[in-house]
Amino acid sequence: MIQLFHVYKHYLKGNAALEDISIQVEKGEFVFLTGPSGAGKTTLLKLMFLAEPPTKGQIIINGYNVTRLKKSAMPFLRRNIGVVFQDFKLLPDRTVFDNVALTLAVLGMSRKGIKKKVWEILKMIGLQHKLNAYPLRLSGGEQQRVSIARALVNEPAILLADEPTGNLDPDLTNDIMKLFEEINIRGTTVVVATHDKGLITTYNKRIITLEHGRIIEK
């Protein structure tokens, strides 16, 4: 599902963010990507989401060689990947409903179909009563849950989440992790980047550990 072969990432300014990364994540796996701050977790997710090109190496996502993919083909591949960003990236001038619905609207789904899907996913994350609220009127935890709903609404093959529980209290963290596990059981491959050791010890999953841009455990 996700394969990296000898991948390097050097940003224009600064040192190497990733060095010689070779990993393989199978379909249906649930993986924690961990390591201290600055280890390269976010960068690795960005490469998987095609938000950044690698400096060197091969990346295969869903059978597609990303490094050789035409720019025009990238949106099609991205549709199979749900992303939960650390800073949510919700549209402030759109309601919760619209923020979640946008993904489906872009895919050309009918209004009726969109309504049903969005309602289902908002119910799943316990925010159906905030349907018409604007993101900035929500707590950090609620905004995070909306961003998770947006990532999951089109049932992506892959879910990438960057410190998804960073701003949540323990109860909500547990809810979100349960949701990820449920999604995973339904067949979505899940990669969660976190520096939270507690999270990793609580949930018994495969762990990939980065340190200074290199893999020390996989």
Ligand X SMILES: Nc1ncnc2c1ncn2[C@@H]1O[C@H](COP(=O)(O)OP(=O)(O)O)[C@@H](O)[C@H]1O
**Residues in touch with Mg ion (CB under 5 A):** 41-42
Residues 7, 32, 40, 47: which binds ligand X (CB under 6 A)? 40
Bridge partner list, 217: 209
11 binding partner (options Mg ion, ligand X, none; Cβ < 5 to 8 Å by kind) = ligand X
| Closer residue to ligand X, CB minimum distance, 127 or 192 | 192
| Pairwise CA distance, residues 14 & 190, whole Å | 30
| Pairwise CA distance, residues 84 & 189, whole Å | 14
CB 90 within 8 A of CB 146: yes
**What is the CB-side half-sphere exposure of residue 68 using CA atoms within 13 A?**
5
14 binding partner (options ligand X, Mg ion, none; Cβ < 5 to 8 Å by kind) = ligand X
Using the rule CB under 6 A, is 166 a contact of ligand X?
A: no
Torsional class of 197: left (φ above 0), alpha (ψ -120 to 50), beta (otherwise): alpha
Using the rule CB under 6 A, is 164 a contact of ligand X?
A: no
In whole angstroms, how close is the CB of 91 to ligand X at the nearest point?
23
Using the rule CB under 6 A, is 38 a contact of ligand X?
A: yes
| Closer residue to Mg ion, CB minimum distance, 39 or 118 | 39
In whole angstroms, how close is the CB of 20 to ligand X at the nearest point?
15
Phi, psi for residue 169 in degrees, rounded to 5: -75, 165
Short-list 34, 135, 55, CA closest to 93: 135
In whole angstroms, how close is the CB of 17 to Mg ion at the nearest point?
10
**Interactions with ligand X, residue window 100-159 (CB under 6 A):** none
Q: How many CB atoms lie within 10 A of CB 76?
A: 11
Q: How many CB atoms lie within 10 A of CB 79?
A: 14
| Pairwise CA distance, residues 175 & 85, whole Å | 18
33 binding partner (options Mg ion, ligand X, none; Cβ < 5 to 8 Å by kind) = none
In whole angstroms, how close is the CB of 214 to ligand X at the nearest point?
11
Q: In the structure encoding, which two tokens stand for residue 66, read together?
A: 């990303």
Residues 3, 21, 42, 90: which binds ligand X (CB under 6 A)? 42
Using the rule CB under 6 A, is 201 a contact of ligand X?
A: no
13 binding partner (options ligand X, Mg ion, none; Cβ < 5 to 8 Å by kind) = ligand X
CB 206 within 8 A of CB 32: yes
| Closer residue to ligand X, CB minimum distance, 43 or 189 | 43
Interface with ligand X (CB under 6 A): 11, 13-14, 17, 35, 37-43
